[in-house]
């Protein structure tokens, strides 16, 4: 299918990819990846494909110069059945945010792979911003706020790479928590997940070292939302002060949860960090280069400038 038919001119670049999702107008993904390609001297681009049309995307990915795609909501699960293979991260989380392409050495057939770099973004946000993980969060309980896809990615990262000995789940909706526990258990990494529903329960539990907040930035209004906030504040008030990654960064990375966490003495890691490190991990798959070869500082600078510009 000609990409010109959807208003995209890919003829001026040697290779191209897509950001496939809806809505994606606020996404900084194309800016991040263009910064990487420009600094590497690659005539590549990532084009935004704001669409719900999976069949359209499947035709576009067949272009011989397409290197892959970032896949965002609502397609992270729907894309699974259209992939030939999954990395361990993609299979274990059960959602894919990255498609990359490899060639079968025998047949020359293009193989469409899926992976989940959100988990790496969460992991690297902590290890790149916490100077002493042993003192901060290793071998301690962790806490995840939320019940969606980001919460599942956080659970995977905390248990697989960050030495969390158990994970407390805090959320306004008990059915969402049960769904996370059931799904993670079915994928064989849910045995240490604990639903913390009340402040009384939270008061009797050990303090945590790492928290990941995976909810939108809005003040709690319902009784369930207020109780979830009280549970969070109970853990923030405990004697051990660790690090919290606030995944929400739109429209601003400094949220209510970031504010109360900082006031409680916690180290706050902004969600743009996770966005940056998951994006760099994507470029490792697409370019074949190691993180040490990618322009990490330049990407940080460009994203910081964009955020500053958005506040003006």
Nearest CA-CA partner of 99 in 111, 107, 108, 130: 111
- Rg of the chain in Å (alpha carbons): 20
Give the burial string for 205-225 (b: 16+ CB within 10 Å, else e).
bebbbbbbbbbebeebeeeeb
Residues 6 or more apart in contact with residue 268 via CB below 8 angstroms:
243, 244, 246, 258, 261, 262
**CATH topology assigned to domain 120-271:** Rossmann fold (3.40.50)
pLDDT average per 10 residues of sequence, the chain (312 residues): 59 93 92 98 96 96 96 93 96 94 94 97 98 98 93 95 97 94 89 95 98 93 96 98 93 91 98 96 98 96 88 56
pTM above 0.85, yes or no: yes
Please report the pLDDT score of residue 188 as a whole number.
Answer: 85
Domain(s) labelled CATH 3.40.50.10860 in the chain stretch across 3-116
Given this model, what pLDDT does residue 125 score? 98
Task: Say which of 76, 81, 284, 289 is annotated catalytic.
Answer: 76
Ranges in the chain annotated CATH 3.40.50.720: 120-271
Contact by Cβ (8 Å): 51, 75: no
Provide CATH code, domain 3-116: 3.40.50.10860
Six token digits for residue 179: 């769904």
Is 76 one of the annotated active-site residues of the chain?
yes
Give the model's pLDDT for residue 281.
Answer: 98
């Amino acid at each position: 299918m000609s990409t010109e038919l959807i208003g995209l001119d890919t003829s001026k670049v040697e290779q191209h990819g897509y950001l496939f999702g809806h809505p994606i107008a606020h996404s900084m993904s194309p800016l991040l990846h263009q910064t990487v390609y420009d600094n590497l001297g690659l005539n590549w681009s990532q084009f935004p494909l704001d669409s719900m049309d999976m069949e359209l995307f499947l035709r576009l990915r067949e272009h011989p110069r397409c290197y892959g795609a970032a896949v965002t909501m609502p397609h992270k699960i729907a894309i699974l059945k259209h992939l030939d293979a999954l990395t361990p991260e993609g299979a274990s989380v059960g959602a894919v945010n990255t498609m990359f392409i490899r060639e079968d050495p025998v047949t020359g057939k293009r193989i469409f792979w899926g992976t989940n770099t959100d988990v790496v973004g969460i992991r690297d946000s902590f290890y790149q911003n916490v100077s002493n993980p042993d003192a901060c969060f290793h071998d301690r309980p962790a806490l995840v706020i939320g019940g969606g896809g980001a919460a599942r990615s956080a659970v995977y990262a905390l248990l697989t790479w960050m030495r969390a000995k158990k994970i407390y789940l805090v959320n306004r909706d008990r059915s969402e928590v049960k769904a996370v526990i059931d799904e993670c258990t079915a994928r064989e990494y849910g045995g240490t997940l604990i639903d913390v529903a009340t402040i009384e329960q939270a008061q009797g539990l050990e303090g945590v070292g790492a928290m990941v907040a995976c909810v939108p930035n809005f003040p709690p209004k319902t009784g369930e939302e207020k109780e979830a906030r009280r549970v969070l504040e109970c853990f923030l008030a405990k004697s051990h002060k660790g690090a919290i990654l606030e995944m929400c960064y739109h429209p601003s990375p400094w949220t209510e949860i970031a504010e109360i966490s900082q006031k409680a003495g916690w180290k706050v890691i902004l969600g743009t960090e996770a966005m940056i490190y998951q994006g760099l991990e994507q470029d490792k798959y697409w370019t074949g280069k190691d993180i040490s070869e990618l322009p990490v500082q330049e990407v940080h600078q460009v994203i910081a400038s964009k955020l500053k510009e958005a506040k003006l």
